[in-house]
C-alpha cells in the first residue's frame, strides 16, 4: 500500500511539473512573439528623399520701410492771411505750379485793406502726403501746410548690420516683397557709411522705379543678390528639416529602416528648398515629411515612387 501511495504522489508531482512547464513554454513563446512583433512593426509609412544639387544665387535677406525719395514741406511765407480755399487733398497728384490753396486778398490794419491776392503753389510735381490746412484758419509764417512726395518716387530703406553693409554695392539689384504675391525690383543708390552706435544697424537706399500702388511707411521684406554668379548648392525640401531649440536636424533612414537624428547646418532658402551646408552626405536617405511624428530608432516603411 505504501509503495502504491508513493507512486501516486510521484505521478501527481510529475503531472503538476509538466503542466507548469508547458504553461511556461507557452507563455514565454507568446511573449517572444509579442516582442518580435513590436520590434518589426513599422512606426509610420513615410516618403524619403536625398540631397539635390541646385544652382542658386547668393541671397541676403533684409527688412525695412518704404520711404519717400524726397519729401518737400510746403508752408506759408506770410502771416495774417486767412485761408479762403484749399484746392489739394492728401493723395492728390499735382504738377509744379499747381495752386494748392488761396488766401484772402487783404490784410487788416485797423480799418484799412491793403494786400494783393496770395496763393500757395506746388514747388514740384509729386503726391500730396499730408495736409494741415483748413479754410478760415490763419497760418503762421513758416507753419507746415502740405507735404509733397517729390516726383511720387519711393525708396526701400532696409536695416543692415555692418557685416551686411560691406556686402552691398551701389547698382546692386534687390527684390522687394509687397505682399499678395507682388514683387518689385529696385537698385541700390546709396549706402550708409556707418551704423548707429546704439542699434548697431545702418541702412541702404534702394530706388524703386515703379512706385505705383506702394504705400510709404510700409514695412516689407526684400532680398539682395550678392553673388557674382550662381553657385552649386546641396539642398533638401524644407519639410525634411526640423528644428529643436536652436538646432536643425533631419531623420536619416538606415539600411534596416530605422531612423536616426542627424544635426545639420542650413543656409539660404529658395521656394520650398533649403540649403544643407554640413551634417549630411550626398546620397544619404532622409525622411521627407512627417518626421515630427518619429523619434530616434523608430522603424519606418518607405513608400516607393
CATH of the domain at 209: 2.40.30.170
Cα radius of gyration rounded to whole Å, the chain: 39
* Cell reading at 287: 525622411
Are 126 and 99 in a shared domain? yes
Percent with pLDDT over 90 in the chain: 59
Does residue 227 surpass a pLDDT of 80? Answer: no
Each residue of 240-265: pLDDT tens digit? 999 999 999 999 999 899 999 999 99
Are 80 and 134 within one domain? yes
C-alpha cell at 189: 543708390
Find the angle CA(251)-CA(34)-CA(17) to the nearest 5 degrees.
Answer: 150
SS3 234: strand
pLDDT beyond 80 at 33: no
pTM: 0.60
Is residue 237 in some structural domain? yes
Total of domains in the chain: 3
- The predicted pLDDT at position 289 comes to 86
Residue-number span of the structural domain to which 160 is assigned: 60-68+154-225
Residue 100 domain-assigned (yes or no): yes
Q: What is the average pLDDT across 148-156?
A: 96
Nearest alpha carbon to residue 251 among 43, 60, 83: 43
Amino acid at each position: 500500500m505504501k509503495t502504491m501511495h508513493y507512486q501516486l504522489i510521484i505521478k501527481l508531482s510529475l503531472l503538476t511539473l509538466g503542466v507548469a512547464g508547458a504553461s511556461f513554454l507557452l507563455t514565454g513563446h507568446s511573449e517572444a512573439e509579442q516582442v518580435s512583433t513590436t520590434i518589426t512593426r513599422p512606426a509610420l509609412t513615410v516618403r524619403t528623399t536625398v540631397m539635390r544639387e541646385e544652382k542658386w544665387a547668393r541671397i541676403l535677406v533684409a527688412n525695412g520701410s518704404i520711404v519717400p525719395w524726397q519729401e518737400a514741406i510746403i508752408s506759408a511765407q506770410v502771416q495774417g492771411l486767412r485761408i479762403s480755399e484749399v484746392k489739394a487733398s492728401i493723395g492728390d497728384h499735382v504738377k509744379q505750379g499747381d495752386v494748392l490753396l488761396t488766401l484772402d486778398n487783404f490784410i487788416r490794419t485797423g480799418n484799412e485793406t491793403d494786400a494783393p491776392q496770395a496763393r500757395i503753389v506746388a514747388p514740384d510735381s509729386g503726391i500730396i502726403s499730408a495736409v494741415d490746412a483748413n479754410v478760415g484758419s490763419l497760418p503762421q509764417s513758416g507753419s507746415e501746410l502740405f507735404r509733397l512726395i517729390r516726383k511720387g518716387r519711393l525708396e526701400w530703406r532696409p536695416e543692415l548690420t555692418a557685416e551686411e553693409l560691406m556686402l552691398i554695392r551701389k547698382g546692386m539689384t534687390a527684390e522687394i516683397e509687397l505682399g499678395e504675391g507682388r514683387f518689385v525690383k529696385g537698385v541700390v543708390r546709396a549706402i550708409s557709411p556707418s551704423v548707429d552706435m546704439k542699434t548697431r544697424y545702418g541702412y541702404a537706399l534702394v530706388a524703386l522705379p515703379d512706385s505705383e500702388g506702394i504705400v510709404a511707411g510700409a514695412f516689407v521684406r526684400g532680398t539682395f543678390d550678392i553673388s557674382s554668379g550662381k553657385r552649386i548648392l546641396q539642398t533638401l525640401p524644407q519639410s525634411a528639416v526640423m528644428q529643436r531649440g536652436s538646432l536643425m536636424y533631419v531623420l536619416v533612414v538606415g539600411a534596416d529602416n530605422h531612423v536616426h537624428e542627424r544635426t545639420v547646418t542650413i543656409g539660404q532658402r529658395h521656394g520650398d528648398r533649403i540649403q544643407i551646408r554640413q551634417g549630411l552626405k550626398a546620397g544619404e536617405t532622409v525622411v521627407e515629411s512627417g518626421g515630427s511624428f518619429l523619434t530616434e530608432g523608430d522603424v519606418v516603411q518607405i513608400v516607393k515612387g
